[in-house]
Structure 1
Amino acid sequence: MALDFDLIVIGSGPGGYTAAIRAAQLGMKTAIVERELLGGICLNWGCIPTKALLKSGEIFETMNHAADYGLIAEKPTYDFAKVIDRSRKVAKQLNGGVGFLMKKNKIEVIEGVARMEKGDPAPKVVVDLRAGGSRTLQCKYVILATGARAKEIPAIGLVGDGDRIWTYRDAMTPKAHPASLLVIGSGAIGLEFASFYRALGSNVTVIEALDRILPVEDEEISAAAQKALEKRGIKFRISAKVTKLAKSKDGVTVTLDASGKSETLEAERAIVAVGIDANIEKLGLDTLGVKIDRGHVVTDPHCATNVKGLYAIGDVAGPPWLAHKASHEGVHCVEHIAGKAGPPIKAPIPGCTYTTPQVASIGLTETQAKKDGRKVKVGRFPFRANGKAIASNETEGFVKTIFDEQTGALLGAHMIGGEVTEMIQGFALAMTLEATEAEIMATVFPHPTMSEAMHEASLDAYGIVLNT
Structure 2
Amino acid sequence: MEFDLIVIGSGPGGYVAAIRASQLGQKVAIVERESLGGICLNWGCIPTKALLKSGEKYESLSHLKDYGLSADKVGFDFDAIIQRSRGVAATMNKGVTYLMKKNKIEVIEGTAKLEKGAAAPKVVVALKAGGSRTVEARAVMLAVGARAKAIPQIGLEADGDRIWAYREAMAPKKMPASIVVIGSGAIGVEFGSFYRALGAEVTIVEAVDRIMPVEDEEVSKAAQKAFEKRGMKFRTGCKVTKVSKGGKGVQVAIEAGGKAETLEAEVCISAVGITANTDGIGLEALGVNMDRGHITIDGHCQTNVKGLYAIGDCAGAPWLAHKASHEGIHAAEHIA
Corresponding position of 1:253: 251
Corresponding position of 2:204: 206
Corresponding position of 2:63: 65
Give CA deviations for 1:358-413 in whole Å, capped at 9, x if unaligned: xxxxxxxxxxxxxxxxxxxxxxxxxxxxxxxxxxxxxxxxxxxxxxxxxxxxxxxx
Letter in 1 for 2:183: G
Corresponding position of 2:26: 28
Letter in 2 for 1:129: L
Corresponding position of 1:152: 150
SS in 2 for 1:271: strand
How far did residue 217 of structure 1 move?
1.2
Corresponding position of 1:171: 169
Corresponding position of 1:306: 304
How far did residue 75 of structure 1 move?
4.1
SS in 2 for 1:14: coil
SS in 2 for 1:300: coil
Corresponding position of 1:52: 50
Corresponding position of 1:74: 72
> How many pairs are equivalent?
336
2:263 and 2:192 mapped to 1: Cα distance? 16
Letter in 2 for 1:38: L
Letter in 2 for 1:175: K
SS in 2 for 1:19: helix
How far did residue 67 of structure 1 move?
1.8
SS in 2 for 1:222: helix
Corresponding position of 2:96: 98
Matched, 1:216 2:241: no
Greater radius of gyration (CA): 1
Select the residue among 308, 327, 330 that pairs with 1:329: 327
Letter in 1 for 2:89: A
2:49 and 2:73 mapped to 1: Cα distance? 25
Corresponding position of 1:237: 235
1:155 and 1:183 mapped to 2: Cα distance? 18
TM-score normalised over the length of structure 2: 0.99
Letter in 2 for 1:159: E
1:210 and 1:119 mapped to 2: Cα distance? 46
Unaligned runs of 5+ in 1: 339-468
Give CA deviations for 1:176-228 in whole Å, capped at 9, x if unaligned: 10000000000010000000000000000000111100111111211111111
Q: For residues 292 and 325 of structure 1, do their structure 2 counterparts lie closer, same or farther at Cα, with a shift above 3 Å needed?
A: same
- Runs ≥4 residues deviating over 6 A: none
Letter in 1 for 2:23: Q
Paired-residue identity, %: 69
The within-5 A match list for 1:380-395 is none
Query: Does the aligned pair in 2 maintain the 1:64–1:73 contact within 8 Å?
Result: no
How far did residue 116 of structure 1 move?
0.3
1:51 and 1:76 mapped to 2: Cα distance? 22
Give CA deviations for 1:288-324 in whole Å, capped at 9, x if unaligned: 1100001110001110011100000000000110011
SS in 1 for 2:119: coil
Corresponding position of 1:133: 131
Unaligned runs of 5+ in 2: none
Give CA deviations for 1:144-183 in whole Å, capped at 9, x if unaligned: 0000000110000110001110001100010110000000
The within-5 A match list for 1:112-131 is 112-131=110-129
1:335 and 1:225 mapped to 2: Cα distance? 39
How far did residue 69 of structure 1 move?
2.2
The within-5 A match list for 1:444-455 is none
1:66 and 1:74 mapped to 2: Cα distance? 11
SS in 1 for 2:46: helix
TM-score normalised over the length of structure 1: 0.71
Letter in 2 for 1:226: Q
SS in 2 for 1:182: strand
2:141 and 2:67 mapped to 1: Cα distance? 51
Letter in 2 for 1:235: K
Letter in 2 for 1:323: A
SS in 2 for 1:186: coil
1:75 and 1:232 mapped to 2: Cα distance? 22
Query: Does the aligned pair in 2 maintain the 1:296–1:317 contact within 8 Å?
Result: yes
SS in 1 for 2:36: coil
Corresponding position of 2:318: 320
Letter in 1 for 2:259: K
Corresponding position of 1:14: 12
Which stretch shifts more, 217-226 or 304-313?
Answer: 217-226
1:65 and 1:75 mapped to 2: Cα distance? 14
1:284 and 1:175 mapped to 2: Cα distance? 37
SS in 2 for 1:136: strand
How far did residue 73 of structure 1 move?
2.2
1:89 and 1:216 mapped to 2: Cα distance? 31
Give CA deviations for 1:42-87 in whole Å, capped at 9, x if unaligned: 0000011000000000011111111222222234110000000000
